[in-house]
Amino acid sequence: MLITILNGNDSSREKGFDDYLRRLAKELDQFHQVDCIHLQTMDIKDCMGCFGCWQKTPGKCLHRDDMELLYIKYVRSELVLFASPIIMGFPSALLKRSHDRLIPLVHPYVDIANNDFHHMARYKRYPNMGLLLAKEADTDQEDIQIITSIYKRIALSFNSTFVYSAVIDDKTPEVIAYEIGRC
């Protein structure tokens, strides 16, 4: 299985988070092909909401930045893990910026499924999605539930299946690698 980990840690103070993801990638790499991408090292511009990716250049964002590489990695992956420390009750802005920019991967046309509007798929297959979070001092279970429910909705919007969520503070990389292997 090809697994892509999108590391949304945008703070050098959270070095332990990066170390944890490196250890996790090493564990996963024993049985899977793993690509751990540190988003902080990439040039990813904010989505302008211009819808040029749907109207002017269908399937391609008007920005020319490192997201072009991420689009390819995303679509080829079988599992994409969105990973971030929680900052003031939310995943990092860097992680949000990257998933906001995934919009060219779906059509602007919508379909109704289960009384919900969803964008139609541009590709035959999309990766499963997962979420890895690191708590901050005042993170509670409600924060985790809210973030997880948002990412479940994102998965629906991108024709994916949400298959995994974990708080890394609660589990070793070996346990998470084992659980991901069972997804």
pLDDT for the residue numbered 116? 85
Rg of the Cα atoms in the chain: 16
Cα 122 from Cα 117, distance rounded (Å): 16
pLDDT for the residue numbered 104? 95
- The domain 2-181: what is its CATH number? 3.40.50.360
Distances (CA, A) of 95 to 5, 11, 32, 44, 101: 11, 12, 23, 10, 10
Cα 179 from Cα 159, distance rounded (Å): 23
Per-residue model confidence as pLDDT tens digits over 8-65: 998 766 789 999 999 999 999 999 999 999 999 999 999 999 999 999 999 999 999 9
Tokens 């072009």, residue? 68
pLDDT for the residue numbered 13? 64
Residues linked to residue 37 through DSSP beta bridges, in sequence order: 6
What band does 92 get if pLDDT is binned at 50, 70 and 90? very high
pTM above 0.75, yes or no: yes
At residue 4's C-alpha, the angle toward residues 160 and 109, to 5°, is: 30
Per-residue model confidence as pLDDT tens digits over 144-177: 999 999 999 999 889 999 999 999 988 999 999 9
